Structure 1
Amino acid sequence: MRLLLIYLIMLGAGSALLLLSRHDQLHILGLGLILPGGGFLAHADICSAAGISHLLAAAAGMAAFGVSLLIWFGTGNILAPPVAWLGMAVGAATMRHGAVRAATIDLVFTGVGIVLLALAIAMAARFALARRQRKIDNAYLASQTGRLSHIFDAAPDAGRAPEMSLEHLRRLRFALDRALQPLGQFNGFEKIDQFQTAATRYQLNFLAYGVALTQARYTPAFRGYMHEAQIALLDKQAQHQVWSYWKLENLWGNLQADPDPVARENIMYTGFVALQMALFSASTGRRDFSEAGRFTLVHPSGRRYPHDAGSLIRRLEHEYTTSPYYLIACEPNWVYPLCNTIGASAIMAFDAQHGEQRWAGRAHDFRHNLDAEFLDGRGRFIPCKSARTGLALPAIGGAMPLAMPCFFLNVVAPDLARRQWLLLRRQLFTPDGAFRRRAFWPVDTGNYGFSRASAYSATALAAAELGDSAVYHACMEALEAECPSVLKDGVIHRVRASVWAHGVELMARAGTRNGFRQVISEPRAVAGPQLDALAYPDILVASAHAGEQGLRAVLYADGIHTIGLVGLQAHGVYLANDVTVTADANGKASLRMPFAGRTNLHVQARGGR
């Protein structure tokens, strides 16, 4: 309705110029206001070369306006559509070819009337079909009540100490190699654009999420290079080349020149980085980025923007309560539900880690607006909405944009996650049970290449979190079939898959039923002996868990290496695989031990069980 009102204002202004003015140029300007490129229709016909050229100019103008809409969506440049529309209207009005024919005016008004009528009929039909589909969907959901235990059949990790395989470790190295390179280097990252989903910041985000979730599930009692990788990926987010895009987006989207990406509505940076910090703290027990100014952004001009985990969370809180839909925009003006569930997860994690209730008072409003403003007539989440015009884009992109929000919704609103997942799940299998690969978009979100890698990985990620083992295994098998793994120099990668897809796959492989929800709501505080200071990649840690019986770990290496231990009692005496070690005053110790491939390590206090 807001978008319609904006157009009716344009239509009224153009009509007033056509009907009330006596100047030819104003008549042409009026046509240009009624339709983008419409001013060129003033002298268009199909009987003369000049008339045909004007007709082609009008068609080109409409196409140019369409391109400006894509620029608006892709970069947040809100100036592009009005500048294109008004620029063509003024340009056409400067062409002096005589008076506008009355027949042309009648034709334009008739065309506009037909289009508006067709849109009204289409919208009415769409809502009627949506009402019918909702009844079908609700009946389907009711029929699934007795099958929930069969669908969500994956067993949680309770009571187990999971271990990565050597293959899994080699996939993890894809993220670690990129994280552990010098801070200013970005070797192995894709550099395509910084405005959409191929941006470097998203590659950093999801590689970091994958490392954090891997840490939380498989190696909570290992510090070393796993901690270093997460810190490095956050420090890379603070590099100017990662956040420099905001100066342009803020200028042409908000008409402000402030280059600080945290200062104003910008959840695609603030929310995503806040979750990165939250997962680092939840998986390691460390609070490095809670220190004031720890995440300081330095502009090439020398201006500094001091931030930290607390300042990012406070900014998210403020933006949620002041945004028109209670959800925060990504690119200026464009609001994405997926991005907002990421930001909400970050606040919830911060609450759990600091014993606060920031999100408790906002959860109801967030959920209400998510339901009221970001579901289409059929009950599916829309990908995004324009805060200024109300324009909501249709759900495109196959299964992935419907599946991935379920992963984060399982923290924010678990019942919504299940509802959306069950409705999506119908589309993933044929009536005879075959996996429907055509339900997945053949374009990789992370690099715009032709590959279903990101679609399979993101859907597998949501399936793992919800506990749907059938979908998880079907996605992983399809991923391997279409984008086979390649082992090179000890690292497994997929040739056509984007870095973003690799990060999401790493998250999926670290996933377990309600695993992400548990990491967010129950951050681990590791106590007792822990591994530290291991040479990467000479030693790969497949498992490291500390408990009443001390530290139990599984490592892959060959030859003799030094193992670092921390978290010991000061001057305490321990047995490490029957070798006696004594901690120093800081609770640290080291030992040299032989390796032959997969090697077990057990560290316990001497005299312990």
Structure 2
Amino acid sequence: MAPEDTAIVPLPPYRRLFGPVTQARIGRLLLLYLLMLAAGSALLVLSRHDQLHILGMGLILPGGGFLAHADLCTAGGIGHLLAAAAGMGAFAFSVLVWFGTGNILAPPLVWLGMAVGAATMRHGAVRASTIEMVFTGLALAGAALGLAMAARFALARRRRTIDNAWLSGQAGRLGEIFSATRDTAVMPEMSLDHLQRLRFALDRALQPLDQFNGFERIDQFQTAATRYQLNFLAYGVALTQARYTPAFRGYMQAAQIALLDKQTQHRVWSYWGLENLWGNLQADPDPVARENIMYTGFVALQMALFSASTGRRDFSQAGRFTLTHPSGQRYTHDASSLVRRLEHEYTTSPYYLIACEPNWVYPLCNTIGASAIMAFDAQHGEQRWAHHASDFRHNLEAEFLDGSGRYVPCKSARTGLALPAIGGAMPLAMPCFFLNAVAPDLARRQWLLLRRRLFDSAGAFRRRAFWPIDTGNYGFSRASAYSATALAAAELGDSAVYRACMDALEAECPSVLKNGVIHRQRASVWAHGVELMARAGTRDGFRQVIGAPRPVAGPQLDELPYPAILVASAHADAMGLRAVLYADGVHTIGLCGLQANGQYRANGVAVTADADDKASVSMAFDGRTNLHVEAQGGR
């Protein structure tokens, strides 16, 4: 192993419950609640009107106004008790709406609406015992919360010490865990099975721009959104091209361009008009104009991988990525403008991480945006990310690690509240894939901590560690969880976990071959895209594509009929072009990247390039067929 692969960076010491920015946000939230508590208490103590007493109880607790006449002895009292419980449930649901759609107005409107609604109910005077019960309950809840946080802090400090001791003991096992070798194959080749899986993405990409046949349309706010299906299918095609077919333009490049152009369709980004309105209280529908890394960062990486895998700079052209609103308003963007927007948002965010849905900050999304900037630097000879890497890393560690040493899935930028680490292995595994380009040592540490959960004491693979709900369509399937974990395992070189995940995926969601395309029933389109990325993966493969893309030069395959000809391998070097294609019958293939008017031989047949550096040749195919194009007189 290389020296940089043998170091294990420890978890930072656990000296405080929250990072400084998070603590300030939670303090501000607590102050806001104390003001509501003071207002509610003032109404309870100083007012002589029953309705104001009830309003005060409603301000102190969501749905608390219904407790004013609650008891367990009368039908009316039980009804009020049930109404209070329903009110608390409604508030909890509004918090889910806030998380799921970015609608920050939902929780306060529901809370205040219930307080006012309960105050309009006329059921007599509020008993003094009821008011005393409310204050006693609040005092007990506050004490319990304080004790729970103190216990959590003590346990987390102890857990952090134990985990760091365990991590230091893994140094001697890294060669055993990360056993995969880096890809040294000169001309790696896809199997026919792999090609048939690739067709799942290509069929969806190569349909007319305004058509989305084969995509799932469930909602546009969370992980089933069409934009994510486009992103990850495109990532899969790009990584496949970078590894297996760098010397092929044709339909592989056309597919990547089409998947980017589909992102400009209003149906894909229309969600932002609502999210920006009810999350930021702004009416601007442009999804790039304000912190929205789930669109800007993901699309920027899509562009970066397209350029890295093809050598083309189509989307660096000014205004190449233009969004047209139904009103006629046009928002002109390109790769450079997206990267500049990401940089601006990183530096202006108190967390140094950018929000996705208004207000919610996801570490995973931010590693994707960071990867996009790093790739842009590598392709344009710039050092943009060097100005941000240290602050990004510091805040990631200080603000987004929980007491168990796991990155929280997301955190509210305005309140500091974090979603607990739910979802099993996948939300812990997937950041490791992108982190391997941004901060490889952190990726290795987080992977080691996760890996302990994937095998039991006897070494058996624990399928129960994977969430049984597919992130991409909310159906009952572990397809996305297995695919995402296999993806990270491939990038980090953990062969055992990769094989276990892929075997489990096949066992639970078997492959189905239909009309030359392999798909998995019950698996989402998103899961298919992630699996395609995993199958194209190799140790540090993504890091290589991001940080050191290989130049594309020499003879290349160009126009080919799809799906009549499937390209399993296409590589060019000083000796010419070598490719492996699957087809039957006689077909004409296009070549490009030749010397103008140059003389070549394609499988021994003389070929002359035209003035545009292109040529075509007719070939007979019988299943798997080799193609070798070399300059006249070459060996």
TM-aligned CA deviation for residue 398 of structure 1: 0.4
- 2:215 alignment counterpart: 189
Give deviations 1:421-464, integer Å, cap 9, x for gaps: 00000110111111110100000000000000000000000000
Give deviations 1:342-369, integer Å, cap 9, x for gaps: 0000001011111111110110000000
One of 186, 192, 199 as aligned partner of 1:166: 192
Does 2:87 align with 1:61?
yes
Whole-angstrom distance in 2 between the partners of 1:113 and 1:471: 49
Does 2:503 align with 1:508?
no
- 2:164 alignment counterpart: 138
TM-aligned CA deviation for residue 212 of structure 1: 0.2
Whole-angstrom distance in 1 between the partners of 2:297 and 2:34: 36
Q: Secondary structure at the match of 1:238?
A: coil
TM-aligned CA deviation for residue 22 of structure 1: 2.3
- 1:436 alignment counterpart: 462
Does 2:373 align with 1:347?
yes
Please give the root-mean-square deviation of Cα atoms over the aligned residues, in Å.
0.8
Does 2:295 align with 1:265?
no
TM-aligned CA deviation for residue 600 of structure 1: 0.4
TM-aligned CA deviation for residue 231 of structure 1: 0.2
Does 2:525 align with 1:490?
no
Q: What amino acid maps onto 2:186 in structure 1?
A: R
- 2:570 alignment counterpart: 544
Q: Report how many aligned residue pairs link the two structures.
A: 609
Whole-angstrom distance in 2 between the partners of 1:159 and 1:209: 22
One of 237, 247, 255 as aligned partner of 1:211: 237
Whole-angstrom distance in 1 between the partners of 2:223 and 2:475: 12
Q: Secondary structure at the match of 2:557?
A: strand
CA contact (8 A) 1:284 1:524 kept: no
TM-aligned CA deviation for residue 8 of structure 1: 2.1
Does 2:592 align with 1:533?
no
- 1:106 alignment counterpart: 132
Q: Secondary structure at the match of 2:387?
A: coil
Structure 2 length as normaliser, TM-score? 0.95
Q: What amino acid maps onto 1:125 in structure 2?
A: A
TM-aligned CA deviation for residue 159 of structure 1: 4.7
- 1:177 alignment counterpart: 203
Whole-angstrom distance in 1 between the partners of 2:200 and 2:575: 33
Give deviations 1:295-332, integer Å, cap 9, x for gaps: 10000111101111111111111110111211000000
- 2:52 alignment counterpart: 26
- 2:112 alignment counterpart: 86
Whole-angstrom distance in 1 between the partners of 2:165 and 2:605: 64
Q: What amino acid maps onto 1:514 in structure 2?
A: D
Q: Secondary structure at the match of 2:584?
A: strand
1:323-362 correspondence to structure 2 within 5 Å: 323-362=349-388
TM-aligned CA deviation for residue 378 of structure 1: 1.7
Whole-angstrom distance in 1 between the partners of 2:233 and 2:496: 25
Whole-angstrom distance in 2 between the partners of 1:224 and 1:524: 19
Whole-angstrom distance in 1 between the partners of 2:387 and 2:326: 40
1:161-310 correspondence to structure 2 within 5 Å: 161-310=187-336
Whole-angstrom distance in 1 between the partners of 2:512 and 2:463: 22
TM-aligned CA deviation for residue 155 of structure 1: 1.2
Give deviations 1:187-223, integer Å, cap 9, x for gaps: 0000100000000000000000000000000000000
CA contact (8 A) 1:221 1:531 kept: yes
Whole-angstrom distance in 2 between the partners of 1:239 and 1:297: 7
| Percent identical | 83
One of 406, 421, 427 as aligned partner of 2:453: 427
- 2:71 alignment counterpart: 45
Whole-angstrom distance in 2 between the partners of 1:338 and 1:178: 26
Does 2:484 align with 1:468?
no
CA contact (8 A) 1:545 1:551 kept: yes
The more displaced of 140-149 and 208-217 is 140-149
| Uncovered stretches (5+) of structure 2, i.e. residues with no partner | 1-25
TM-aligned CA deviation for residue 251 of structure 1: 0.6
Q: Secondary structure at the match of 1:360?
A: helix
CA contact (8 A) 1:209 1:507 kept: yes
CA contact (8 A) 1:164 1:543 kept: yes
Q: What amino acid maps onto 1:55 in structure 2?
A: L
TM-aligned CA deviation for residue 7 of structure 1: 2.2
Whole-angstrom distance in 1 between the partners of 2:152 and 2:501: 32
Q: What amino acid maps onto 1:445 in structure 2?
A: T
TM-aligned CA deviation for residue 127 of structure 1: 1.6
TM superposition outliers: structure 1 runs of 4+ over 6 Å = none
